[in-house]
Structure 1
Amino acid sequence: MVIPGSYTTNYRTIVREGERERWGYGHVTKPDARTNYTNRSNDDLIVVYPMRGRGWFSTTTDAPTPAQRRLVEPGVVLVHWPSASCSLEVEPDGQWVEQWVLAPASVAVAMRALGVLRADVACLEPGVNDALAQSFARIGTTLRSIADHDAEILGLRIHEWFVEVVRLARERPDERHEVEMVLAACRLLADGVGGDDAPIPRLAAHLGIGYELFRKVFRRRMGMAPGEYRIHRRIDRARELIVQHGLSNRQVADELGYADPFVFSKQFKRITGESPTAFRRRSA
């Protein structure tokens, strides 16, 4: 999954007809255990969409069965229902990246009433889908720009997003297998970020699929070829090394296996639209 270029958090209180509503959107990284939470509840609806990394999630819902701790990876959507007790523990390896949305409880009530989601559903598995991630990010864009009197559009955006999530989660078993294959491919491609890149045909063989079919399926699901996806992941890692560790262009190039800092800088600009120096200055 392609990670957006910068991290952001935005809260906003919208006043309509004398009522105050709290909304929020975030695209954040969680590098260690300090961001974990246990048995946390909220009066609002919170939706978490993991984009990278692994973690474990549990919640209490209206279901009669007790909460179960489940593995969470990209391709899973977590629903924190209002007043539900939720726990999320991410692996402290610096890989976790998520998008999240906070919305008033009235949005959750409306989705239940319209039959979009059942009250006992806290995890959905639409699979890795770049278009889904982009449409989720657009909710954040709408939140920043919308006028208070048009706030119902935010609820509509969330409703539309969940309709697509539910549709993808109900795919036929053969399509589900395809999604899982692409997810496994994304993990294997990410393993080559440090420069030790396995040839794509070898990766396809490892997954038990022909090279041409693999490229076709991967491009359809991710919107880009496998090799290009690996480059995007490498640039994602470069951003982290610059922002979190303050590495120079040469140090980043060495860390990620580039021939020299000039090759790294050229590829960074092609992917992000700005040089590493400009990105470093903007992120300072």
Structure 2
Amino acid sequence: MATRMQNLINQALKQKTATVILPGGQLRAGWISPKDHPATRTFRKLEAYHMLYLVRGQGRVIDHQGHASDLAAGDKLDRHPQLPHTLERHTDNQWLEFFITLSPTLHQSMCDLGLLWPKRFFSHVPVSTPLLKACLQFVENMHQPNSPGELASQTTLLLNRFQNTAAQSPEHQTTDQLQHAAHLLSDVNQQTIALPKIAQQIGMTYETFRKHFTKHFGKSPQQYRIEHRISQAQHHLLETDISIEQLAQQLGYNDVFCFSRQFKTVCGISPTLYRQSLEQ
């Protein structure tokens, strides 16, 4: 098995990147190794969708919400257009990733088909010889004179394979549930939803939700919600002229006094003094 896997990796290191034009836009696929991208830490906001599937090597990623995750073989990143994140490739000279890049129109089409989930950023798909063979064959087919329709069909089949394999992992299902909960907790329009209700929406009991969330994010759901509300408050105090009363209402607080008290607890000063300090 190890020899077959290494043979496939050697083939991947030699295979050239392929680019084709489909009816919905441009499709690119291939492999990235240290010779293509030396170890580096980069902040990115991509114009097109980029799927990163790590075959070997290690790294680290920080998503758009500031959550950091270590990367290892089998980890897959769905780097959706305009989604800010930071990617770090470690200096072990072993990095090898398979990638698929889709133009914004193609990306939207795949989302509409349920083959890509805009809210999914991180997942895990175990590395296997059948999957590597499928990736190698996909790129090879792109180099051949296949019709755009046939290539589009092959693209959907490969993305579906990644999607289904990731969905079979219980650990990934829990991560998806927690990511959805984090989205609800940070959504300004969802601030009045009680935590047990959020747990119910993601299919967990409240105690299970609280335990898994705290382990995954390093803070309780309530603390996560508070920090995101205050972070949004700081942004508005810096970037807008909105009144303190309007801001409190916009962020879902019952009254301005409750907002000011919580802001001072987190930041050490009141919202008014915070704004004044920025103006000096």
TM-score (norm 2): 0.51
Q: Is structure 2 residue 94 aligned with structure 1 residue 118?
A: no
Summarize the Cα distance change of 1:30–1:114 in structure 2 as closer, same or farther, 3 Å threshold.
same
**Aligned-residue offset at 1:69:** 1.8
**Counterpart in 1 of 2:168?**
171
Aligned length: 165
Summarize the Cα distance change of 1:58–1:138 in structure 2 as closer, same or farther, 3 Å threshold.
farther
Question: Among residues 24, 30, 36, which one is paired with 2:28 in the alignment?
Answer: 24
Q: Deviations over 1:190-239 (max 9, x none)?
A: xxxxxxxxxxxxxxxxxxxxxxxxxxxxxxxxxxxxxxxxxxxxxxxxxx
| Residue correspondence of structure 1 range 1-284 to structure 2 within 5 A | 1-2=5-6, 3-5=9-11, 6-12=13-19, 14=21, 21-30=25-34, 34-60=38-64, 66-147=65-146, 150-171=147-168, 173=170
CA contact (8 A) 1:31 1:95 kept: no
- 163-172 or 44-53, which deviates more: 163-172
Summarize the Cα distance change of 1:85–1:155 in structure 2 as closer, same or farther, 3 Å threshold.
farther
Q: Which one has a bigger Cα radius of gyration?
A: 2
Summarize the Cα distance change of 1:95–1:117 in structure 2 as closer, same or farther, 3 Å threshold.
same
**Aligned-residue offset at 1:15:** 7.1
Q: Deviations over 1:96-121 (max 9, x none)?
A: 11121222222221222122332110
Query: CA-atom RMSD, angstroms?
Result: 2.8
CA contact (8 A) 1:46 1:79 kept: yes
Summarize the Cα distance change of 1:10–1:126 in structure 2 as closer, same or farther, 3 Å threshold.
closer
Q: Which amino acid aligns with 1:102?
A: T
CA contact (8 A) 2:48 2:81 kept: yes
SS at match of 2:33: strand
**Counterparts of 2:48 and 2:93 in 1: how far apart (Å)?**
28
Summarize the Cα distance change of 1:131–1:113 in structure 2 as closer, same or farther, 3 Å threshold.
same
Report sequence identity in percent. Answer: 18
**Aligned-residue offset at 1:31:** 5.9
**Counterparts of 1:37 and 1:95 in 2: how far apart (Å)?**
16
**Counterparts of 1:58 and 1:42 in 2: how far apart (Å)?**
15
**Aligned-residue offset at 1:81:** 0.9
**Aligned-residue offset at 1:137:** 1.9
The unaligned stretches of length 5 or more in structure 2 are 174-280
